[in-house]
Structure 1
Amino acid sequence: MRRRHFIGLGVGGAMLLSAPARAQPAKTYRLGYLALLPGEDKSLAKPLLQRLDELGYHRGVNMILDYRSAEGRAERLPQLAAELVRTAPDLVIAGFGTLAPKAAMAASSKIPVVFTSVGDPIGAGLISSLSQPGGNATGLSGQASDITAKRLQLLEDLIPGKNLIAVLGNPDTPYTALALRQVKTAAATMGQPLVVFEARTAEQLPTAIEAVISSGATSLLLLEDPVLLGAKQQTIQLVTKARLPAIYGARDYVEAGGLISYGPDQRQMSRRAAEYVDKILKGASPANLPVEQPTTFELIVNLKTAKDLGLEIPATLLARADEVIE
């Protein structure tokens, strides 16, 4: 049941306006797409390609797209990035997360790179600043300063009282390191007790969830990165078995059976990334195109999962939801 759907994206000091559909470009462009996660060509890449089509770039007509996926194996990214560079693309699109754009930039400092969703592009060393990236890469960041505080508040709305909340993430990623600092600051301000657990690989998830249960935490906040997102089905199964209410940043988890998510609309971000591609192909420099950060978010609730957990979702929270899955 769709309640409402909107997203706005702010820029560090500037805003890129959505470009109207244009006449088909005369030149044939060659683009590379580098993905870490399996199946990005059937998920995040689809809205990007749809938007490119609307802008006049048609596969097999005036656009060649070389797609490479590491299928979740990060160690394959450098080789795949080198393969893409050898095709002499006009631009490389980097899929979800930080590792794909890092590999693309390491393979070439001259070919423009557009990243579709990086949690902390400054901390990852991809750009100099949001307003002036300064190198050959720019794009979309999925991080906002107050998002973790809002997720904590949503968990408190679900389970009233200052109950212990577990936070689970991969500390090796820049996004998680930044988000963890923010969630600790927010928890201190709210007087919310936290306990933090780590999972660097999918294989570490069962042990981490067992530790969460043993801690006595009544709910879980997951700080997803590409590694953990690639293991979302396993995560959902473990959390469901533990009967642990959990909040996620990506709607994919809720669609897979998770309880609730709050975060940017990744599909809309992918469409915005296509507009960066269009601007760069038409002569803009990535060094001067500000990186966008989200300013509005979508709240997705899975009522079936809530029922299975024996959890009643407050009416006020349901009224705020952008989408309710029944």
Structure 2
Amino acid sequence: MNRRDLLVWLASWAALPSSVARAQETVRPVIGYLALGSPESRRPFVNEFRQGLGENGYVEGRNVAIEYRWAEDKPERFPGLADELVRLNVDVLVTAGGTAAALAAKRATPTIPIVFTAIGDPVQEGLVASLPRPGGNITGLSFFSPQLAGKRLELLKQAVPEARLIAVLLKPDSMPENVREPRLKEIDASARVLGVRVLVVEARGPEDLERAFAEMSDGRAGALMVVATPLFVIERRRLAELSRRTGLPAMSEFREFAVEGGLMTYGPSIADLNRRAADYVAKILKGAKPADLPVEQPTKFELVINLKTANALGLTLPQSLLARADEVIE
């Protein structure tokens, strides 16, 4: 080897580490994050997701990138946004917009791994083959637990003991019939145990809400249970206002409803589900396949009570109920 060749070889060798570093930088994994709301409304949940990633050794901007797509409270945008993330060829796609977002992602790609953060019954809704063996390219976390509807009714009855008829607000097209009918039968059975009757009231869109509350008032309902759907999550402030205006104490599933002025909520912590979704993402980035990762059901539930709303409705809540609350909003 002559002197010139030696210098060229040494120069190439010296440049190798930076070339490798650049190569490693270009192949850092990319996570697609498809959400119902906006960056502002989803910030607490995104922070929990990032925290979960950090606990697994992944830091956004350092060794992982995240591509966000926001539906801005318009579920009809999910298919187009999911297609965008698929065209980017993300390494894993996280959905945070209920069944609609998860179905949009599943229809958009049969190969990119998908992790959903909060789904009712993913088996009955056609997302996975079974909870222990999801199959396909999708897995994640369910917020459904068979005893939850009965527990919500029980808590609502404790808050409003004089209620003899409880309205159930439902968006009928938010779930397939094979999911909706068993859910309603479960609610009805729980109500009979508590000695109350159920009035099912349907609302398919925002334009139906005024009519739905008028129907509840005409039926002399004493309290209301809202079955959470993307529409009712979007309209949670208006639902809370309508419940206060009509004097109807209202219960729903997620904390955000109570924050906006609903009387109370009982259900899994959405923040916790987002943090646990990061565990799935980390496992997939390290080589696990969604088909082999069981769908998890909720393990942490939170009772949130808005005492200011209770006072506005003229309710005196029993101290035993307040003592059970994870959070009391005053």
Same fold per TM (> 0.5)?
yes
Per the alignment, in what secondary structure is the counterpart of residue 172 of structure 1? Answer: helix
Give the drift of 1:115: 0.3
Q: Provide the residue aligned with 1:171 in structure 2.
A: 172
Distance 2:32 2:315 in 1: 45
Worse-matched range after superposition: 34-43 or 314-323: 34-43
Using the TM superposition, name which of 274-283 and 178-187 deviates more.
Answer: 178-187
Q: Does 1:276 align with 2:280?
A: yes
Structure with higher helix content = 2
Residue aligned with 1:216, SS: coil
Q: Does the 8 Å CA contact 1:115/1:140 hold for their aligned counterparts?
A: yes
Matched-pair contact (CA < 8 Å) for 1:47–1:267 = yes
Report which stretch shifted further, 51-60 or 73-82. Answer: 51-60
* In 1: Cα distance, 2:161 partner to 2:194 partner: 13
Alignment of 1:1-326 (within 5 A): 28-39=28-39, 41-161=42-162, 163-174=164-175, 177=180, 178-326=182-330
Give, as a single letter, the amino acid of the residue that structure 1 aligns with 2:273: M
User: Which consecutive residues of structure 1, in runs of 5 or more, have no partner in the other structure?
Assistant: 1-24
Equivalents in 2 of 1:107, 1:203: separation in Å? Answer: 30
CA distance in 1 between counterparts of 2:302 and 2:42 reads 23
Aligned length: 302
Q: Is the 8 A contact 1:89 1:111 kept in 2?
A: yes
The structural deviation recorded for 1:193 is: 0.6
Maintained 8 Å contact 2:240/2:250:
no
Tell me the distance in 2 between the aligned counterparts of 1:242 and 1:180.
Answer: 24
Letter in 2 for 1:121: P
Deviates more, 1:54-63 or 1:135-144: 54-63
What is the CA distance between 1:192 and its match in structure 2?
A: 2.0
Q: Is the 8 A contact 1:162 1:193 kept in 2?
A: no
- Deviation readout 1:45-70 (Å, 9 max, x if unpaired): 22111211232222222211111122
Provide, for residues 234-266 of structure 1, a one-character-per-residue CA deviation record: whole Å limited to 9, x for no partner. Answer: 111111111111111111011111111111111
Q: Is the 8 A contact 2:163 2:223 kept in 1?
A: no
Query: How far off its partner does 1:37 sit?
Result: 2.9
Deviation at 1:179, TM superposition (A): 3.2
User: 2 CA distance for matches of 1:229 and 1:179?
Assistant: 19
Residue pair 2:75, 2:230 contacting (<8 A) in 1 also: no
The alpha-carbon deviation at position 161 of structure 1 amounts to 4.5
Relative to 1, partners in 2 of residues 1:162 and 1:311: Cα closer, same or farther, differing over 3 Å? Answer: closer
Which is bigger in relative contact order (C-alpha 8 A, separation at least 6)? 1
How far the C-alpha of 1:137 sits from its partner, in A, is 0.6
Identity between Structure 1 and Structure 2 (%): 44
- 1:195-232 deviation per Cα after TM superposition (whole angstroms, max 9, x unaligned): 00011112211111111111100100000111110111
In structure 2, what residue type is equivalent to 1:198?
E
TM-score after normalising by structure 1: 0.88
Task: State whether residues 133 and 291 of structure 1, in contact with CA within 8 Å, keep that contact through their aligned partners in structure 2.
Answer: yes
- Indicate the residue corresponding to 2:13 in structure 1: none
RMSD: 1.7
1:136-173 per-position Cα deviation (integer Å, ceiling 9, x unaligned): 11111001001010111112111225611000011112
| In 2, Cα distance between equivalents of 1:309 and 1:85 | 48
The TM-score normalised by the length of structure 2 is: 0.87
